[in-house]
Structure 1
């Protein structure tokens, strides 16, 4: 898959594409069938194709470089600063205007090249655990897709590197109010733009646009029960600052910071002779001073996105 940000929405640029690593790619154009509704015969007539729907989930590695492409798609342009060849890209939630993309699915052995345009990132999901590689799922909605062709329209794409430098789960830590959270067994994170398709009558198979509605950031946090502290905070409705951090080196790190998070009050079932675990539901909101709900900071050697 190759991708590029569009300067004019739904208009595919002639250059600037970059290869985007992924594990699975569910982005596809689908057209359903409309059943014949004319009466007069027991057997129906031919069905008709309905308008196309272009969306799907893409499973991606959370890596040092290419992740910035998806964070920009999800949250908008970052604020970037540089020090001795190391760049800190700070992405913030809350933007009303999000960039659109052209994404090309490439199957050169067929050959088949399918271009999706006017695409936007709707959501990002990440699961945090003790071991393994750090992966994510990006939900993408496109406004339309061209008929597949035997030749690419992406030119010669650039690359974020031959082999992605992936973050590992063992490099991660979850912090609550600035301190490493003890006894966290697993944590899920989801940011959702809640994009609303604009179903205008266009005559070309495209939808009219994708409007971002109120965003949401939520998930679960599973803890081995050893203290009443977090339960007491949840019962009192006390907001917590939570950050998810992965660090490879001083030149490669990712931080997802949520300044104001409230927790549900979970039960504590005893399921056998082992330890007691409890699963908190959490939801984030904007901070009291108006600061954004989510701040994502990616440090790497990529100059710009």
Structure 2
């Protein structure tokens, strides 16, 4: 008897032309380190009286299809998640190609994602998948991974794959060693770690249907937030927080082969932090920053991915 193992699982994704309708072709193999994407349907306990102490049978509640994916930040497949988060990019170049994503798009594409466990077999196709939140942490060492929070319309289970022929992209991973942070065009020193979170704040359209699915997930006001933990060496960031003025922060990863990922947050506002002395070691301060619309650039942030993929 075969037993499901994460080592044998596979994940494939393709963009939908029509929301909630998986395409017949165009699926790509997506690397991942973990998944909680699944459909869930709880039971409601009976509230009826008059039948003794033993309860009557429960009834089914609404179905929820959502979950998180743990994914690597790499030079090619990460572009799929960037498109899901920000919309279609503007692509220039003839190889390498430069893909510019911007915040603020009202229309976001939906994905069809199949999570397969071939040894059972169980192939779960999730249609109408929208990306609600994308987050990751910059630090000195360790594996560079991101978390993608997804909202799906529904789940369909089959014993064979419905993804057709799955294409492979090159897995060219970025690492923390390739990372850098700049403030207003100058390297920002004394940074211990940084955290970045982008949220589309999707509004689920939970109408009454006979299939238990939602009608959609509409993007509302986006949010780009994070934190920067720094060794307290000067008052530059504290003074900015006191003045209430924005700065531009750039988070970048560059590989020797020319592939790069740059997140330029155009207008970052810093709070005035608590500066604590907790012992004889170095003093650190944490700034929980927020981004806002920058009138000059017309958006909150620009994300630039440079690789050998002609289009997303």
TM class by shorter chain equals over 0.9
Cα shift at 1:43: 2.4
Decide which of 93, 96, 100 is 1:82's aligned counterpart.
93
Matching residue within 194, 204, 208 for 1:201: 208
- 1:58 pairs with 2:69: yes
Q: Which residue among 79, 86, 89 is the counterpart of 1:68?
A: 79
Q: Matched residue of 2:99: which SS?
A: strand
Q: What SS does the aligned partner of 2:172 have?
A: coil
Whole-angstrom distance in 2 between the partners of 1:221 and 1:138: 21
Moved runs in structure 1, 4+ residues, more than 6 A? none
Correspondence for 1:219: 226
Q: Give, in angstroms, the shift of residue 86 of structure 1.
A: 0.5
The answer to whether the Cα contact below 8 Å between 1:76 and 1:97 also exists between their aligned partners in 2 is yes
Question: Deviation string for 1:252-278 (max 9, x for gaps)?
Answer: 000011000000111111111111000
The correspondence of residues 241-260 of structure 1 with structure 2, limited to 5 A, is 241-249=248-256, 251-260=258-267
Whether contact under 8 Å (1:132, 1:170) holds in the other structure is no
- Displacement of 1:249: 3.1
Point out where structure 2 has 5 or more consecutive residues left out of the alignment: 1-10
1:151 aligns with 2:146: no
| Structure with the higher fraction of residues in strand conformation | 1
Q: Which moved more, 1:43-52 or 1:257-266?
A: 43-52
Is the counterpart of residue 25 in structure 1 residue 35 in structure 2?
yes
Alpha-carbon offset, residue 251 of structure 1: 2.5
- In the aligned structure 2, how far is the partner of 1:285 from the partner of 1:177? 16
- 1:109 is displaced (CA, Å) by 1.1
Offset of residue 290 of structure 1: 5.9
Number of paired residues? 301
2:130 to 95, 110, 120: 120
Whole-Å separation in 2 of the counterparts to 1:200 and 1:149:
26
1:38 equivalent in alignment to 2:48: yes
SS at match of 1:124: strand
Deviation at 1:133, TM superposition (A): 2.5
Q: TM-score scaled to structure 2, two decimals?
A: 0.95
Q: Paired residue for 1:183?
A: 190
The question of whether the paired residues in 2 share the 8 Å contact of 1:6 and 1:12 is answered with yes
CA distance in 2, matches of 1:290, 1:65: 26
Q: What is the Cα deviation at residue 37 of structure 1? A: 2.0
CA distance in 1, matches of 2:297, 2:175: 33
Matching residue of 2:109: 99
Superposed CA deviations along residues 225-247 of structure 1, whole A, max 9, x for unmatched, are 01011101111101010010000
Structure 1, unaligned runs of 5 or more: none
Paired with 1:118 and 1:13, the residues of 2 have a C-alpha distance of 11
2-structure distance, mates of 1:282, 1:288: 19
Q: Which whole-Å CA distance do the structure 2 matches of 1:268 and 1:98 have between them?
A: 40
Aligned partners of 2:20, 2:85: CA distance in 1, in Å? 17
2:279 is paired with a residue whose SS is: coil
- Match of 1:98, SS? coil
